[in-house]
Amino acid sequence: MNLAIETKKLTKTYKTSSGMQSVVKDLDLEVEKGEIFGFLGPNGAGKTTTIKILLGIIDGTSGEANVLGRPAGDIESHKRLSYLPEKPYYYEHMTGLEITQFYASLFGIKDKDLCVNLLNRVNLGNDYNRPISQYSKGMQQRVGLAQSLLNDPELLFLDEPTGGLDPIAHIEIRDLILKFRDEGRTVFISSHELSDVERICDRVAIINKGEMVHQGRLDDLLSGGRIEVTADGVAENLVDKFKGDDMTLSLRAGRLIADLPDTMSPNEMIDAIRTGGGSVVSVIPRRKRLEDLFLESVSGDNLAKGRVTGKMTDDDKKADVKEEEVSS
Amino acid sequence: MNVILSIAKTTIGEAIRRRVLLIILLIGVLFLVIAPGLSVLSARSSYTVLVSFTLGVIQLTSAVIAIVLTVYLLPNEVERRTIYTILSKPVYRWQFLLGKYLGAVGALGLMMALMTGILVLVFKIMQAEAGMDVVMTLARAPMMYFVQMSLLAAVAMFFSTFASPIVNFFLTGGVYLVGTLFSPVFQDIAGNNSVNAMVKTAATVIHTLVPNFAQFNVQNTIINSGSQLRSEQMYYLQLVAYAFAYVAVFLIGGMMIFDRKEV
Amino acid sequence: MKLKRAPMFAVMALCLVVQGAIARINYPIWEKTYSPRTGSDLRGLSGDQLLIALAGFREMVAGILWVRADTYFDEGNYDAILPVIRLVTMLDPKQIDVYATGMWHIAYNFTDEQSRSDRRYIPSALALGAEGARNNDYTYELFFETGWLWYHKIDDNYDNAVNWWKQASEIKDMQTARKNILAMALLRDGKLEEAVDHYQTLLDQAEIEFNKNSTEYQNRQNRDTIESNLDNTLVRMAQRGNFALKGGYYNEWKYDTNPPYDVGFSAQVVVEDSRVLRVEGTWNVQPVGTRVRITLRDADNPNGIPAGMKWDRSNTVDLDPEKDVTFMQDALFVKNQSFFKRIDMARDPVMYPFTTDKYYVEFYYNPRSAPPHIQDRFGFNGEGMTDSNFLNTDIRNGQRVVYCRLELTRDQLLRTGEWSTKTPVVKTTNFVPTGARNSEDIIDVPGMRSDTGN
């Protein structure tokens, strides 16, 4: 058994005014030990709900959830995992060190040096005697990380770890997470945006509206890029010859712009163009990006495949609100 | 146990910094300090007035603090999401609830100790001729108020596992009122021969089920020197045992609900 | 990992049973000690006061109310104090001072323009005292205060004063200095030997205290006071012939009280104006210090008794006295063997409503209320006093009092109807206008210690 997290047909249903609503639907997750796992999806997709189920804060309606080989919520497994919630707040009257010591005491740890070391590790060495109320968001997030390392966890749940942080903080956190993997920890990152952090994931799962859309190795998921071929002086009949479902061809005033999947070799087309007297202007491979995959997954077919760039936004505010409603 | 104490300690630290509680406390202290000024108005029985007024201030202030403090404990934890980090640690929910409750009681104890200290001080200054033993007798009433308020906090804690703070405020306040009111009503019914047996039984059942807050109001024998208690220690002990049992009832009830609650 | 329901419910149920059991055991103690007066009538409280009061802050509300009552005292707003007193004692029936002050206030402070108090309140004051004593039976204070009301305010029926003070004396915190007063009440009640016995008991106790610590000034003073009181009483009893009366040789010797002295009472009442009486009359006693009681009351009031009322008829503290009852009482001060007084009831129509048709004007003199120098002549029980016309031994069972009753109608008092032009005059048959009296009628009153006669 090499899985840190495993769910089978995990479902969470809430009663709402408009009837039963599934926030998580038949979710099958598999997170292997020692990997960085990205749990991606727009706001309201059911990410936080899933994490809460995995931590035993709420119960699933049906299905199975195992964490570290035990049923979700098991106190024994809590000794071996840790959780950094989205936008955590702490008791503001306490200093960074005090809050860390408080969390340590929940594990029965009284080692002050450990706390100081961890705070040093997250670059709070100069600030841990100041009250939390004076901390920036990034510093609070780092306190959160420090406390999440207290028990030397095998498994870390990071819920939106970069939310609201500046790019420098992003990089700091990314580096920390990479170190975690080097130390042999499993890191479960949930996110609705695609920052540098998510790009370091070994594997990702993308969920939308509570349902799994994709799960797999990032490399595998990102295969299936496109190749763009541009040529001048191309004859009309060429277009008819290559017309197919999986490609886009546009010919105007002898200039052809063809977009074909990378599973198809462009050589045939290039040969045909050359044979027909045309000249190839450019052949540009466009590798699939995580953003594209993400958009593809959550937006259905409305958006052009592989063309629209840019990251996911918080457009789907409605969904955001909905999640807040059902989970709090 | 460490877990519970850690949570309790943190809760105390937070509670004694909550501005709304400090304002209520400040108002209470203010009344205690100006109380001697009020009783100057009363040429006769100034001592009685001073004692009853100051004890009343302590009781009222403590009740408000107990309710306001406790009703927000759990909701604040959820709102700030601190509860998630705590519950993701090896902490049972009942431990969390118990820790929060003990924290509330601890904070309440500190605030009430402060008021009692000021009460003693006021009397030491105002009634210089009165011996320390007399002044210390006064402090017995707040001690029983503390037991009373601990019970009240348990009620609030119980309700906070399923009710919103505002609803809880009125629920707890209601239980306090009923718990105080029903005692004299029950005595009337129990002592009245014209009341039929059904009503009497019902009254006895309610009297047993609703916590009797009235019995903690021991100020009367303290205010009025002629104490008629057969055994004061016994009475106080009984009150503490009673409160202890009732606190357990409410906390266990709260734990059961909180254990299955989706936070 | 969830808590298991069954054992948790079991523990919960057990705790519920335990608290119920404790509450049961607890209950009898609590009832006896802390229960506010059962059946308290709290209707007089405003909503917020009621809420606070019932929420366990009775004492606090009581304290605040009492502070407010004190400002009313200062302002002279007596009517406002009454309900406060009632509320405070209901809220906190242990407030002895409020009971004591309250009953004093009710009995003494409601007065008309000529400082006569409204005696229609006395039953309420007595009821308040009785209630306070019941609620605070661990202390002598309210027994003492209630007795004092009988002794000093009503000043007629000393039996009640004796009863209350006997109860007060039995409570252990009764002040030693105050125990003397029971003997005084016993004397006025005609229980002379009992008074002597009481003094003797007190003296014995004082002696013991004195011997325990003879350097203590208090102990010496207390013993000496009681001793002197006892001596005085014995001397008075001897001189007034009380021992002789008992021994059956009273008529064989000249005692101060023998033969009885005729006080020569006569009186006339003139209704000068509507509700204004001019009262004059004679009382042939020279020394200053006689006050003849005059009352005016409804003739048909069932609670009326000659020159008084059934004061202890009420068990409830009624803040609204019977508004339709008229009861006036005043004292006629005797100087130069005559009395004269204008009694103006016109300015207090609420206190003197005059709703019925017929009224008694009564003159009443009881030697038991007299100061010692008068009693030296008249005796404890009036053996040394007589009046050829108005000596009465019926209206106060066995006591020798002077009593005279005149009648006036409503029309006469109000000067309405046929009396609007005529001046009503009622008088005893023996009444002689003051100026016409013979100077020979002046008689020196013999007395052992005041033989100057004036």
Per residue in C223-273, pLDDT tens?
A: 999 999 999 999 999 999 999 988 888 888 888 888 889 999 999 999 999
| Angle, alpha carbons B219-B223-B227 (nearest 5°) | 85
Yes or no, beta carbons of C138 and B60 under 8 Å apart: no
At which residue do the structure tokens 């009564």 appear? C362
Higher pLDDT, A233 or A89: A233
Averaged pLDDT, A46-69:
90
Cα-based distances in Å from A326 to A21, B262, C104? 9, 10, 69
pLDDT > 60? residue B223: no
Contacts of A107 in chain B (CB under 8 A): 89-90
Give the integer Cα–Cα distance in Å for A41 and C42: 66
At which residue do the structure tokens 């009988």 appear? C150
Query: pLDDT, tens digit, for every residue of B96-127?
Result: 999 999 999 999 999 999 999 999 888 888 76
pLDDT at A239: 77
Burial track A89-115 (b if 16+ CB lie within 10 A, e otherwise): ebbebbbbbbbbbbbbbbbebeeeebb
Higher pLDDT, C234 or C98: C234
pLDDT at C435: 56
Q: Please give the single-letter amino acid code of residue A145.
A: L
Residues A122, B108: contact at Cβ < 8 Å? no
A243 in the same domain as A162: no
Higher pLDDT, B60 or B136: B60
Reported as a pLDDT band with limits 50, 70 and 90, residue C290 is: confident
Reported as a pLDDT band with limits 50, 70 and 90, residue A114 is: very high
A72 in the same domain as A7: yes
The answer as to whether A318 is a domain residue is no
pLDDT > 50? residue A322: no
Residue C270's DSSP bridge partners are: C278, C425
- Which CATH number characterizes residue A28's domain? 3.40.50.300
pLDDT at B130: 65
Averaged pLDDT, A134-144:
86
What number of CA atoms fall less than 13 Å from residue A316's CA on the CB side? Answer: 17
pLDDT at B39: 52
DSSP H/E element including C340: strand C338-344
In chain B, % of residues over pLDDT 90: 46
A251 in the same domain as A206: no
Can you list the positions of beta strands (E) in chain A? 3-16, 19-27, 30-32, 36-40, 62-67, 70-71, 81-84, 155-159, 186-191, 203-208, 211-217, 226-232, 248-252, 255-261, 279-286
Give the integer Cα–Cα distance in Å for C271 and C367: 29
Yes or no, beta carbons of B238 and C22 under 8 Å apart: yes
Reported as a pLDDT band with limits 50, 70 and 90, residue C105 is: confident
Q: Please give the single-letter amino acid code of residue B22.
A: L
Q: Residue C418 is part of which domain span?
A: 261-441
Name the range with the highest mean pLDDT among A84-93, C422-431, C444-453.
Answer: C422-431
Burial track B110-129 (b if 16+ CB lie within 10 A, e otherwise): ebbeebbebbbebbeebbee
pLDDT at C230: 95
| Rounded-to-5 percentages of helix, strand, coil across chain C | 50, 15, 35
The answer as to whether C362 is a domain residue is yes
The answer as to whether A96 is a domain residue is no
Query: pLDDT, tens digit, for every residue of C292-335?
Result: 999 999 999 999 999 999 998 887 777 677 888 999 999 999 88
The answer as to whether C395 is a domain residue is yes
Chain B neighbours, 3+ Cβ pairs < 8 A: A, C
pLDDT at B225: 44
Q: Which of A32-41, A205-214, C5-14, C25-34 has the lowest mean pLDDT?
A: C25-34
pLDDT > 80? residue A245: no
Residues C420, C384: contact at Cβ < 8 Å? no
Give the integer Cα–Cα distance in Å for B69 and A67: 36
Residues 69-128 on C with a CB inside 8 Å of B are 70-71, 92, 94-98, 101
Q: Which of A200-214, A304-318, C126-140 has the lowest mean pLDDT?
A: A304-318
pLDDT > 50? residue C39: no
Number of domains in chain A: 2
pLDDT at C108: 86
Question: Of B7, B17, B92, which has the smallest distance from its Cβ to A75's Cβ?
Answer: B92
Number of domains in chain C: 1
Closest Cα partner for A153 from A58, A68, A85?
Answer: A68
Q: Which of A266-275, C51-60, C198-207, C255-264 has the lowest mean pLDDT?
A: C51-60
Reported as a pLDDT band with limits 50, 70 and 90, residue C30 is: very low
At which residue do the structure tokens 């999947």 appear? A261
Residue C156, burial from CB neighbour count under 10 angstroms (0-12, 13-18, 19+) = buried
Contacts of C51 in chain B (CB under 8 A): 177
pLDDT > 70? residue A243: yes
Sequence length of chain C is 454
**Count of CB contacts below 8 A, A vs B?**
75
* Nearest-CA distance B24 → chain A (Å): 20
* Nearest chain C alpha carbon to A75: C1
Q: Which of A124-138, B195-209, C223-237, C356-370 has the lowest mean pLDDT?
A: B195-209
Residues C265, C363: contact at Cβ < 8 Å? yes
At residue C268, what are phi and psi to the nearest 5 degrees? -140, 140
The answer as to whether A258 is a domain residue is yes
pTM value > 0.80? no
pLDDT > 70? residue C336: yes
pLDDT at C87: 75
A278 in the same domain as A173: no
Give the integer Cα–Cα distance in Å for A9 and A26: 4
Give the integer Cα–Cα distance in Å for C74 and C96: 21
Neighbours of B26 (CB within 10 A): 11
pLDDT at A16: 81
Q: Residue B189 is part of which domain span?
A: 2-259
The answer as to whether A273 is a domain residue is yes
Average pLDDT, chain C: 83
Reported as a pLDDT band with limits 50, 70 and 90, residue A314 is: very low
Contacts of A84 in chain B (CB under 8 A): 85
A169 in the same domain as A64: yes
The answer as to whether C360 is a domain residue is yes
Residues B245, C22: contact at Cβ < 8 Å? yes
- Which CATH number characterizes residue A246's domain? 3.30.70
Residues 158-177 on C with a CB inside 8 Å of B are 173
Averaged pLDDT, C404-408:
95
pLDDT at C160: 94
Contacts of B188 in chain C (CB under 8 A): 38-39
Averaged pLDDT, C376-380:
91
Residues B258, B181: contact at Cβ < 8 Å? no
DSSP H/E element including C426: strand C425-427
**Which ranges of C35-175 does DSSP label H, i.e. alpha helix?**
47-52, 58-75, 78-91, 96-108, 122-135, 141-148, 158-170
The answer as to whether A256 is a domain residue is yes
pLDDT at A272: 84
Residues C437, C429: contact at Cβ < 8 Å? no
Query: pLDDT, tens digit, for every residue of B171-180?
Result: 999 888 888 7
Average pLDDT, chain A: 81
pLDDT > 50? residue C14: yes
Reported as a pLDDT band with limits 50, 70 and 90, residue A270 is: confident
Give the integer Cα–Cα distance in Å for C271 and C277: 5
The answer as to whether A70 is a domain residue is yes
* Nearest-CA distance C124 → chain B (Å): 21
Instruction: Spell out the residues 6+ positions from residue A262 whose beta carbon is closer than 8 angstroms to its own.
Output: A223, A224, A225, A226, A227, A285, A287
Give the integer Cα–Cα distance in Å for C296 and C326: 8
Reported as a pLDDT band with limits 50, 70 and 90, residue B185 is: low
* Nearest chain A alpha carbon to B4: A106
Instruction: Spell out the residues 6+ positions from residue A181 whose beta carbon is closer than 8 angstroms to its own.
Output: A34, A35, A36, A187, A202
Reported as a pLDDT band with limits 50, 70 and 90, residue C4 is: confident
> Domain boundary residue among A171, A198, A222?
A222
Question: Of C26, C29, C95, which has the smallest distance from its Cβ to B48's Cβ?
Answer: C95
pLDDT > 60? residue C178: yes
Contacts of B184 in chain C (CB under 8 A): 35-36, 38, 40, 54
- CA B246 from centre of chain: 13
- CA C29 from centre of chain: 36
Yes or no, beta carbons of C94 and B43 under 8 Å apart: no
Q: Residue A8 is part of which domain span?
A: 3-80+153-222
Positive or negative torsion for Cα A164, A168, A169, A172: positive
Residues B9, B1: contact at Cβ < 8 Å? no
Q: Does C238 touch chain B (CB under 8 A)?
A: no
The answer as to whether C393 is a domain residue is yes
pLDDT at B16: 92
A203 in the same domain as A250: no
Contacts of C6 in chain B (CB under 8 A): none
Can you list the positions of beta strands (E) in C236-326? 261-262, 266-273, 276-282, 291-298, 304-305, 308-309
A157 in the same domain as A282: no
Query: pLDDT, tens digit, for every residue of B120-163?
Result: 888 888 766 667 777 777 888 899 999 999 999 999 999 999 99
What number of CA atoms fall less than 13 Å from residue A27's CA on the CB side? Answer: 37
pLDDT > 80? residue A110: yes
Q: Is A26 left (phi over 0), alpha (psi -120 to 50) or beta?
A: left
Number of domains in chain B: 1
Yes or no, beta carbons of B56 and C61 under 8 Å apart: yes
Higher pLDDT, A181 or C45: A181
Contacts of B215 in chain C (CB under 8 A): 23, 26, 30, 34
DSSP assignment letter at C137: T
3-class DSSP assignment, residue C284 = coil
